[in-house]
């Protein structure tokens, strides 16, 4: 059945009439932002988000899976599950830090566990992050060395400290729960870069983020980089937490691939050593914590 349009619509402009017709048909109106406008709107959101997504803690479940390992390491684990808490903190100029407190490893108590809450009350957050990053890396499996698993890393492309080094462009449109949104691509072009290699070399990142057209809220991010021959893909999904009134990261996926796969991977073995690792962290039960003096 064709929807009925009220008579008063004749007094409206054609643009307004088009919007009403689209709404009556259940279709979202087109997004009006160009790439500069959308990037600016998203940057304003990130600036506000930096004040809000800090001093928040969540429960974390982290699963690692070595999908391919050639040659195989005899006796080495191919999967691992850890659980604990993760503290989200933002400090300028360092940016966001996800400080993990691993409590169990494959169901058993984590060895030599530190009390992160107590440490946050006595040490600067950056020092705590460096200390815990080294501690938690002990639970990584596979040969690939990695410590850039920050779910909010892609958002720093819109931070005022870094934004001028990035090029932004709009891509396809995709609605989120009925809200018009657009994929905003980003590509780093100048040093200093967001991440560095182990030897201190610059690493340029690129990716895309799903930006809500009305307010710049970011619902998903994807970041890609090549670090010392390792292809890295990081994806983060955000969902609205009604209790805190924030979009919060609920799923964080990591993909690492080192080595060269043969042209026909279905019938041939990789050319030389090869490893592929997939990881997924899920976050729940978000709440604020009160240790703020050292963080700021």
User: Into how many domains does the chain fold?
Assistant: 2
| pLDDT at residue 39 is higher than 50 | yes
* Mean pLDDT along residues 193-220: 94
Q: Tell me: do 231 and 178 sit in the same domain.
A: yes
| Residue 5 confidence class, pLDDT cut points 50, 70, 90 | very low
Query: E strands within 229-270?
Result: 230-241, 246-260
On whether residue 295 sits in a domain, the answer given is: no
- Please tell me the predicted confidence (pLDDT) of residue 49: 96
Residue 164 lies in a domain: yes
Confidence of residue 148 (pLDDT cuts 50, 70, 90): confident
Domain extent at residue 2 = 1-30
Task: Label residue 33 by pLDDT band (50, 70, 90).
Answer: low
pLDDT single digits (tens) 221-244: 999 999 989 999 999 999 999 999
Task: Please tell me whether residues 39 and 20 are part of one structural domain.
Answer: no
Q: What is the pTM of this model?
A: 0.85
Give me 248's structure tokens: 């919060």
Choose among 145, 143, 125: nearest CA to 134: 145
| Confidence (pLDDT) at 293 | 43
Residues 21 and 87 in one domain: no
Do residues 115 and 181 both lie within one domain?
A: yes
87 part of a folded domain = yes
Give me the pLDDT at residue 208, please.
98
Residue 294 has pLDDT above 60, yes or no: no
Query: Given this model, what pLDDT does residue 112 score?
Result: 87
Q: Encode pLDDT of 80-91 as tens digits.
A: 999 999 999 888
The reply to whether 253 and 113 lie within a common domain is yes
Provide the pLDDT for residue 26: 38
Up-side HSE of residue 177: CA atoms within 13 Å toward CB?
8
DSSP-H helix ranges across 123-163: 125-136
Asked whether residue 293 is assigned to any structural domain, the reply reads no
pLDDT above 90 coverage of the chain, percent: 64
User: Which comes out higher in pLDDT, residue 21 or 106?
Assistant: 106
User: What pLDDT score was predicted for residue 7?
Assistant: 41
Query: pLDDT tens digit string along 20-30?
Result: 333 333 344 44
Distance CA 188, CA 159 (A): 13
pLDDT average, residue stretch 215-220: 98
Instruction: Identify whether residues 124 and 240 lie together within a single domain.
Output: yes
pLDDT of residue 15: 38
pLDDT-derived band at 271 (thresholds 50, 70, 90) equals low
Q: Are 96 and 194 in contact (CB under 8 A)?
A: no
* Bridge partner list, 13: none
Q: Quick check: is 123 in a domain? A: yes
| 226 beta partners | 231
Residues 21 and 77 in one domain: no
- 48 pLDDT band (50/70/90 cuts)? very high
Residue 254 belongs to some domain of the structure: yes
Both 104 and 202 in one domain: the answer is: yes
What's the pLDDT at 23? 36
Q: How many CA atoms lie within 13 A of 278 on its CB side?
A: 3
Are 194 and 205 part of one and the same domain? yes
Same domain, yes or no, for 111 and 26? no
pLDDT band for position 14 (cuts 50, 70, 90): very low
Chain position carrying tokens 């599950």: 81
Average pLDDT, the chain: 85
Domain harbouring 267, CATH code:
2.50.20
Name the nearest CA neighbour of 168 among 128, 117, 119, 206: 206
Name the residue among 91, 139, 135, 88 with its Cα closest to residue 114: 135
Considering the domain boundaries, does residue 294 fall inside one? no
Q: Looking at the predicted structure, is the pLDDT value of residue 103 above 80? A: yes
**Does 186 share its domain with 242?**
yes
Does residue 18 sit in the same domain as residue 46? no
In a domain, 185, yes or no: yes
Residue 219, CA distances (Å) to 3, 17, 238, 240, 268 in order = 32, 30, 5, 9, 39
């Amino acid at each position: 059945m064709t929807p009925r349009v009220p008579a008063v619509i004749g007094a409206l402009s054609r643009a307004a009439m088009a919007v009403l017709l689209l709404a009556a048909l259940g279709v979202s109106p087109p997004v009006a932002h160009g790439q500069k406008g959308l990037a600016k709107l998203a940057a304003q959101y990130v600036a506000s988000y930096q004040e809000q997504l800090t001093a928040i803690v969540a429960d974390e479940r982290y699963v690692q899976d070595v999908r391919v390992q050639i040659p195989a390491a005899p006796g080495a684990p191919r999967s691992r599950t850890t659980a604990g808490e993760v503290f989200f903190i933002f400090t300028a100029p360092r940016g966001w830090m996800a400080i993990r407190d691993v409590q169990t490893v494959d169901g058993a108590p984590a060895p030599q566990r530190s009390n992160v809450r107590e440490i946050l009350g006595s040490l600067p957050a950056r020092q705590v992050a460096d200390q815990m990053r080294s501690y938690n890396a002990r639970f990584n499996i596979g040969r690939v060395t990695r410590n850039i698993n920050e779910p909010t890393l892609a958002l720093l492309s819109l931070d005022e400290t870094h934004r001028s080094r990035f090029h932004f462009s709009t891509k396809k449109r995709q609605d989120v729960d009925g809200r018009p949104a657009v994929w905003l691509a980003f590509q780093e072009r100048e040093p200093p870069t967001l991440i560095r290699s182990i030897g201190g070399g610059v690493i340029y990142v690129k990716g895309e983020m799903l930006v809500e057209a009305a307010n710049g809220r970011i619902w998903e991010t994807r970041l890609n980089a090549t670090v010392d021959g390792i292809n890295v893909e990081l994806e983060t999904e955000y969902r609205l937490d009604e209790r805190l009134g924030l979009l919060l990261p609920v799923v964080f996926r990591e993909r690492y691939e080192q080595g060269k796969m043969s042209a026909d991977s279905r019938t041939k073995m990789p050319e030389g050593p090869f490893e592929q690792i997939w990881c997924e962290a899920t976050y729940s039960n978000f709440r604020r914590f009160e240790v703020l003096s050292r963080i700021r």
